[in-house]
Structure 1
């Protein structure tokens, strides 16, 4: 009897508990957008994936990724960056949604400051917006605002 109970418990754990797999961080996409003054935005998507599968229902998967855009001067100096972190859940081929979104922003130059940042989510998209402002003798001289959107489609593809 004890053996039967142990076997039933083991089988129920196999069937009802989700299995999680993990991958190391991987850069998935890289792009550069040049501006007319020679400065540019460089964008990368980095994933920190973990997938959860359940044997009693359609496999639900979870993705976590960062999309970072860095503003760089025409001379190649990194000035500031904004990162959106999105967590997504999807059922392959059927549905996808963003479960959380957060923003971080960093100024790399002493003359630049992050003057505004925010994050939001909508459907299957995580969104972050940040403004970097350059100061000269304590006065703002130029501001750049960048919106970064990270989307996960129904097949788990990030863009």
Structure 2
């Protein structure tokens, strides 16, 4: 928490999110996460029939996000807000999570500019300490797999 030169307390969004997470009934999915990602390509070589798999991009801990319950009539169970920038007047919702029926499965819709989005299927452990998401795209004979890993940094269960 930061004190301004005002007679009242001032909090940034990160501190406000941590305070929110201290409430008694928090879903195991809710929290502040560090995000890592890996992109792999799998396909046949030009002059052979053997399949090759290659990591084309890897980014460790490239983002920090808050996942918060969404109690509204939006059709989504959780929202994802980026914590990468501080002191913004507004924080955009960059993703939506919806619970799938049965098990620890979430459908994630990553919101992008120009009304584009991409979808991932996520699984999470019982404590909600880690979320793992997969998206697979096939382009001709090549399969591209996008894997996101969210590791909870707050609150620790």
Rg bigger for which structure? 1
Same fold (TM over 0.5): no
Asked which structure has the greater RCO (Cα within 8 Å, sep 6+), the reply is 2
TM-score w.r.t. the length of structure 2 is 0.30
